[in-house]
Structure 1
Amino acid sequence: MSRHGEKVGVLGAAFRCAECGEIAGVLRLTPAGQPVDMGPPLGRTTHEADGVSLDLFGGTSWHRLEGEAFGRLRALIETDAPDGPDALEIRRVHWELAPFLCRECGDVYCWTDWKPSVTFDDGFYDETRGTCPRGHRQTIDD
């Protein structure tokens, strides 16, 4: 199984695709008031709340973490476990923090290997579902 990541930078973790070996996603904790690079067109942005950014998995997103969720995620990313941060435990904090993890096979896959398909409802974005290399289908962005 390939669900464990590696620590990167300060308060960050990168997860590699079990299929191709490329980085599937990078999580970075962003305490309130700390700038985070949200990529084009937003660039460096500062949020008034604690949160986490997710890069490389379909773009860049930021998720607000309230209450103890920020502390739980921080402990998971800063772990000294030999395998590194566990995407399954991160997903338990909130599923959107580890959308690259397949719930069925427990492996991490990059955006491309998920074979994403976007759904629109009356012309507006609804969700993105993906099928992992082992044939499991699930929502990977909502």
Structure 2
Amino acid sequence: MQHRREIAEAQALEEQQLREEKQTQHQKARALTDLTNFLTFLLNCHTLSLAINVVTDPTLTTQEGTLDYIRKTVNLITAEMDLHYYECDSVENQVQMIVDSIYAKDILRQEFRLSGSVTFDSSFELESYQAVPTSGGNAEGIHRGKRRF
């Protein structure tokens, strides 16, 4: 009887230690994410992108089979609408989400000097597009309200 109680106490103690350890790990992970602000995130992304090294030596690269997966999962661009869909999905939607997220937070809106959000016009024609310079020079500006590209 005494032995069973000691075993039960030992198991309870071990479970308590595991819970405390898990809680400590959770708090450490939370502290890491709490300390990361948007500008730190951007700087870290930039630092990581600088570390990318493109390997051009064919003896150091995969020789076969790398495109099989892509051929199976990526639709070919066979028409202008396919290209438009790809552009919207891979560029416009991502830019829209990022700018909207920045614009939704006052501190980020001030930091990036945004005075409006961005929207993309699906009937975009290059000939009719006229860049509107900002007061700083030739750069493209994001203006008050929704800007149509």
Question: Structure 2-normalised TM-score?
Answer: 0.23
Q: Which has the higher strand share?
A: 1
Question: Structure 1-normalised TM-score?
Answer: 0.24
Larger radius of gyration, structure 1 or 2? Answer: 2
